[in-house]
Structures are given as structure tokens and as C-alpha cells.
Amino acid sequence: MAKLLLAKPLVEKTTENLKKRCEKLKEGGITPCIKVILVGEDPASKVYTRSKKRLGEKIGADAEIVNLPDDVSVEEFTTTIAKHNSDKNVHGLMVQLPVPSQLSGVDIQSLISPEKDVDGATEHSLASIILGSKGENSLLPCTPSGIISLLKFYNIELVGKNVVIIGRSLIVGKPLAMLMTNYNATVTLCHSRTSNLMEHTQNADIIVTAIGQNSFLKACHIKEGQTIIDVGINRNSEGKLCGDVDFDAVEPIVSAITPVPGGVGPLTVLSLAQNLIETTEKNFS
């Protein structure tokens, strides 16, 4: 039976630390504040933004969801971001994706000030990873940062390990590949055009799946002793929340695995709170 890499104990431990750091900032006259811009009424986006607001408030920060209508103009959207960029009392700013089609041509991340980029998605943040940072010089993308924190918490070593990441998005796959390289892992980044995927996955010590396809990673892809990090958030035919991994088939074979729900998801939100406190301490206190 595999060890379940649960987020809860890490979230509880880190949240207490963030509360103390937030209180110290407040004693100095600064209340960390994050604005999450939500465009439209997408149900999943509303759930995600509420979870970010709840955790922000739990650590003692001000957290506000800025609701914009689904038909918001490009001008109003960019003006809203500019307003919060220039507000000295706002320390963190992010846009919840996806956005409606009329905003698809807007380079959203370039509009957000790097020091307020709590999502870790601006060019500045991504470039710092390429240059070798582990988060010392910028705010890390939330999901990759959460995965690194989880591996550290459970004492899963990256140095010298073969890591296969399936999925090449700018949110998870690409930044995570560079970040794990900075921790001296040997990383293979796979995707929909990768040939002979099983040859890569069966040679890995750690597999990360981030493709959004229910039960994609099956027993035939893996071998005994591996660590599996499942980033996927999907619904099966019964409407049940599940990941990219065929959990029931894979779990008995591997050494450690993240469940869905209860694995990577909560750590993405936790990383957002960490980034808020870190940037407030560094840039605004």
C-alpha cells in the first residue's frame, strides 16, 4: 500500500506560521491585502476564488474577490488591474482564469506588477526560475511551489532523481520542470505529442501528471517504488472528483501518491497565501 501524500498536515502547519507572520505585519501597521479579480460567473472559478478568500482571511489578511461582469470591456478590465497595481494598500493581485473570449488577446500577466504577482505567473517570476531561482528572488508559481513543499514535507528527495512531468502548461508543467531542475533532478517534460510515453514513465522515480484527463495514468505506465504527484482535477462518469491517475490501479504498486481530492489542490491555495505574506514582508513593510 502506497503512502498517501496528504496536504492537510502541511496546510495546518504552514497556516499557523503564516498567521504569526501576518500578525507581526499588522503590529507594524500593515495588513496584507490580496485582490482576486474574477470575470463572469464560471462555477469552478467561483469555487476557487472563494477558497483563496477563505484562506487569506484565516491567516488574518484582507482578501477580496473583485467581481467583473462576463461582458466587461478590455478597457474596464485593464483599468481595474491598473487601479489595484497603483494602490499601495494592495499587496497581492491576481486574475482568476479562464477569462471570457473578448479578453483572450490581453497579455494579462504583463499587466500585473511583479511585486504583487502572488500567482507567480509574470515573465519576471518565470524568468527567475530559468535563471536558477528556488524562490529567493521572486514569487514562485503556486502549484509548482506547492508540489515542492509537499515533497520536502514528506522527505522525498529530488537530487539525482529522474522526474517525468506530463503536461507542458505555463501554469504547471514548464515552470515545475525548471524548478525541479534547480533542485538537481533530471527532468523529462512529456506532452500530447510525446512518443512512447511508457518508456519515459517506467524509467522515472517521480511522475507528475498535469493534463486534465480522467484516469490517464494507468498501471501499465508505472513501476514499483515510484512517487506519483497527481495535479489533475476532473470528474468521472459518476460526477465524482478525480485526478489524472487511475488511483485504484496505481496505488497498490507505487511507494507514494497524492490523492484527489486532498493532495495538490489545497497546496496551490496555500502557496498563494505564502506568496502574499512573503511579498508584503519584502516589498511593503
Contacts of 168 (CB under 8 A, 6+ apart): 174, 189, 190, 191
> Residue 86, class by beta-carbon neighbours within 10 Å (0-12 exposed, 13-18 middle, 19+ buried)?
exposed
d(CA 171, CA 86): 25
Candidate list 35, 53, 96, 161, residue with the active-site label: 96
Please identify which residue in the block is written with the cell numbers 509537499. 150
Candidate list 119, 205, 230, 244, residue with the active-site label: 119
Q: What are phi and psi of 163, to 5 degrees?
A: -115, 130
Contacts of 177 (CB under 8 A, 6+ apart): 165, 187, 189
CA 28 to chain centre: 30
d(CA 31, CA 18): 13
Contacts of 160 (CB under 8 A, 6+ apart): 184, 185, 186
DSSP tag of 223: -
SS3 17: helix
Active site residue 52: yes
Candidate list 35, 52, 53, 174, residue with the active-site label: 52
Contacts of 262 (CB under 8 A, 6+ apart): 6, 7, 8
Active site residue 96: yes
Residues marked active site are found at: 52, 96, 119
